[in-house]
Amino acid sequence: MATQQKKAAMDIFPAKLIRQICLEAGADEVGFVEIDRPELAQERQGILENYPATQTIISLSRALNRENVQSPARPLYNGEVRRTEEDLSRISGEIMRHLNSQDIRGVILNPAFPMDMNRWPGKTWDVSHKTMAVEAGIGVMGLNRLVLSPRFGSNIFLNSILINAQVDPYDQRLEQNPCLNCRLCAAVCPTGAVQKDGAFDFLACATHSYRDLSGGFDWAAALLTSGDLGEYRAQFQDRETMGLWQSLLFGFNHKCGYCQAVCPVGDVGMPRYLADKKGYFQELVKPLKERAEPVYVLPGSQAESRVKSNSHKEIRYAKLARPLQ
Ligand code: B12
Ligand code: SF4
Ligand code: SF4
């Protein structure tokens, strides 16, 4: 194993060959980043802890079906998210098997979960796939804080593979940011997490969209501390219990993702938006902005004021089980 690692590390593999392996396995976009690139300074420790022999990071994207992402029926969005994440994990495994046959070794990271919950409430992920995708020239971060690929816009999921071989040539950042600064993502965001000046309120988004995941951890406390069913039901309505129960049984569901849904960037959305901006707003932004639904907020937060200003939304208060750092 040690000899194999050294051998591959000394070889330099043509990017064309590895790219072909990745695309044939089902990735939609691929790029390569060298481990010693200065822009990876914040990420290097996490990468090397996962795989000390890393020479190259392979960044991959897989596109989601745009219409599922845009549908006001959020179970359709969540089904598509789940399929795409599973596809991406399977594709990454397939790529690694092919690379192994070329004498290249490495590790496949997880697109999202599982993460290292021993570090909760700190940073539980090791490598930011967005940073890798930006460096690999797959896309640029838009106002919505998602990587926008010129071809698929924000409708991509990302993963990274760490390998022990060098690749030639490496990819570079895109020169142009495809973000139009149309601010539709900020307009549709029910919690005000995406802000027009480019700031992002991490806690507002996590409290609402991740309600059935980490945001819903106060459920455990309510189950433990409620004296009787009445006291429990005063904190969690039956529909909320069913939502959490469903997420536990079938995999968790996001409450939102609207900033991903409305972004016009990409081959399909951009011409449609530029041809008829008002029509685009009516058809794709308004139904989500005015969707009747509960929105979860922390008391006293900016998200609370934001939800109160939208008469279509029902405010629901969440508790932090422990303060986030
Ligand atoms: C943490 C995380 C979140 C957090 C924070 C989001 C964020 N902007 O970082 C929350 C829960 C809010 C979240 C929500 C969503 N996410 Co998310 N998430 C991640 C994760 C695990 C890491 C993100 C990251 O690298 N952040 C660091 C830097 C690069 O991001 P940043 O925006 O510049 O900085 C923010 C964070 O660093 C955070 N922060 C700063 N310090 C600290 C400290 C601690 C302790 C914590 C917890 C956070 C934190 O605050 C900063 C400002 O907001 C990645 C998977 C991965 N391993 O990469 C997926 C990922 C970024 N998520 C993704 C998606 C799709 C979503 C959602 C649409 C899902 C949904 N339906 O809810 C929303 C969209 C929210 C948004 N507009 O960003 C995709 C993005 C794909 C793309 N096209 O870019 C990823 C890459 C997953 C994947 N495999 O594809 N996510
Ligand atoms: S997922 Fe929803 S709450 Fe989170 S930033 Fe996007 S629009 Fe806002
Ligand atoms: S919705 Fe508009 S402002 Fe937001 S990321 Fe997309 S192009 Fe940029």
Mean pLDDT of 115-137: 94
Residue 236 tokens read as 């969690």
pLDDT at 264 over 70: yes
Distance CA 291, CA 279 (A): 18
Q: Which residues pair with 158 in a beta bridge?
A: 61
Nearest CA to ligand 2 atom 3: 205
Answer whether 316's CB lies under 8 Å from 243's CB.
no
Does a structural domain hold residue 239? no
Q: What lines the ligand 1 site, CB under 6 Å? A: 111-112, 122-123, 125, 127-131, 144-147, 154, 156-159, 194, 200, 202, 205-206, 209-210, 254, 256-257, 259-260, 325
pLDDT score of 4 more than 60 = no
Q: Are 273 and 191 part of one and the same domain?
A: yes
Domain hosting 27: range is 2-168
For residue 292, give the amino acid letter: A
| H helix or E strand, kind and range, residue 162 | strand 156-163
Query: Residue range 302-314: average pLDDT?
Result: 98
> Which of 213, 205, 208, 148 has the alpha carbon at shortest distance from 181?
148
Q: How many domains does the chain have?
A: 2
Inside any domain, residue 85: yes
- List the structure tokens of 220: 């455990």
Provide residues with CB under 6 Å of ligand 3.
142-144, 179-185, 262-265
Say if 115 falls within a structural domain: yes
Q: Which of 40, 128, 144 to mutate to test the pocket of ligand 1 (most atoms within 8 A of CB)?
A: 128
Predicted local confidence at residue 10, as pLDDT: 63
Residue 288 has pLDDT above 60, yes or no: yes
The pLDDT value given to residue 220: 87
Q: Find out whether the peptide bond into 121 is cis, omega within 30 degrees of 0.
A: yes
Lowest model confidence (mean pLDDT) among 28-37, 203-212, 266-275, 312-321: 312-321
Q: What is the rounded average pLDDT for all residues in the chain?
A: 94
The answer to whether 210 touches 193, Cβ cutoff 8 Å, is: no
Determine, yes or no, domain membership for 72: yes
Nearest ligand to the CA atom of 146: 1
pTM: 0.94
Q: Is residue 163 assigned to a domain?
A: yes
Predicted pLDDT of residue 7: 56
Q: How far is the CA of 260 from the centre of ligand 3 (A)?
A: 9
6 confidence band (pLDDT: 50, 70, 90): low
33 lies in the same domain as 109: yes
| 137 and 198 housed in the same domain | no
Please check whether residues 98 and 122 belong to one and the same domain: yes
- If asked whether residues 8 and 89 sit together in one domain, one would say yes
Domain C-terminal end among 136, 168, 200: 168
Model confidence at 195: pLDDT above 60: yes
At 13, give phi and psi (nearest 5°): -95, 140
Among the ranges given (71-85, 112-126, 140-154), the one the predictor scored with the smallest mean pLDDT: 112-126
Q: Which long-range contacts (C-beta less than 8 Å, at least 24 apart) are formed by 112-119?
A: 112/85
pLDDT at 269: 96
- Which atom of ligand 3 lies nearest, measured to the CA of 146? 5
* 145 and 55 part of one domain: yes
Of the given ranges (43-47, 219-223, 312-316), which has the lowest mean pLDDT? 219-223
Is the residue at 225 inside a domain? no
Burial of 3 per CB tally in 10 Å (0-12, 13-18, 19+): exposed
16 found inside a domain: yes
